[in-house]
Amino acid sequence: MFKANQLNLFSSQSLNPTYEIKRNIRLELSMSSLSRDQVVDRMNDIAGREGLHGKISKATLDGWCKDSDPSRLPSPPWLVVFCHVTGSISPIQPMLFPLGSGVITEEDMRLLIWAKAEKEKRKAIKKARLAFEAID
């Protein structure tokens, strides 16, 4: 079930992630050691192995970067392939931030699992202490 959150009046977070997705794609391409042609080639190789239909071209990748054409965005499977090729999840994050969520790394996940276990341990210690005090 979706839980509605009260939006902050001073927050300008849009529910439309288009601009941020495109910006993050541009940033990842600019920081990549791969050329756009190499990114396209690797994406098409992976897509073929993964059973994605069709191929993308450099012109398609360039279209994903243009703010002037907000209707041109990668589909979710192609966005995942792009993130895999570039080694970054930043283009996916703008879809989650407006919903109060985010993407975490494996390290973050290990820390979260540890924190939850630590919280349960502390609850158990407190419960045991209260039970012991009730005996006295």
pLDDT of residue 11 exceeding 70 = no
Of 3 and 54, the one with more pLDDT: 54
How far, in Å, CA of 119 to CA of 127, rounded? 12
pLDDT of residue 9 exceeding 60 = no
How far, in Å, CA of 103 to CA of 79, rounded? 14
> 63 and 69 in contact (C-beta within 8 Å)?
yes
3-state secondary structure 60-82: HHHHHHCCCCCCCCCCHHHHHHH
Instruction: Tell me, rounded to whole angstroms, the distance of Cα 11 from its chain centroid.
Output: 20
pLDDT of residue 6 exceeding 70 = no
How far, in Å, CA of 41 to CA of 35, rounded? 10
Question: Both tokens of residue 111?
Answer: 């820390």
Three-state DSSP state, 101: coil
pLDDT of residue 2 exceeding 60 = no
pLDDT band at 47 (very low <50, low <70, confident <90, very high): very high
pLDDT of residue 49 exceeding 70 = yes
Whole-prediction pTM value? Answer: 0.73
> 109 and 75 in contact (C-beta within 8 Å)?
no
